[in-house]
Amino acid sequence: MFNMFPGMGAYQLLTRRLSPAQAEDLILSGRTHSAEELYEMGLIDVLAETGDGEAAVMRYIKKRHRQFDANQGLRRAIQAAHPLNYGALIRVAEVWVEQAMALKGRDLELMDYLIRAQQRMQH
């Protein structure tokens, strides 16, 4: 919307659960997604009704605990197949900073407008 992209590892983390094309579409679409949509995409593990979050987390932990060794093995395999490379994460952060420093007046005005709109919503 204002010539930026979510940095700080979003792409690397999303591609652990989505294809690279899906991750790119999610990042560049600018859409806000519901929890249900993110669950359907596989980005959210558990949906909870309002007020049931803590109980849902405990159920999830209990269920996963029974398969702890298998889950740990799978996580290690995923990490081996798609490692989070520290150097790559640093480079993404550098690209993001370069992009932020190159923003033009119109982009900064739009960001300022969005900040003011969010502040009005909070009050």
Flag whether pLDDT at 5 surpasses 80. Answer: no
The predicted model scores a pTM of 0.64
Cα gap 79→94, rounded to integer Å: 23
Flag whether pLDDT at 109 surpasses 70. Answer: yes
pLDDT digits (tens, 9 = 90+) for 11-43: 888 888 899 999 999 988 878 899 999 999 999
pLDDT of residue 7: 62
* Amino acid making up residue 23: A
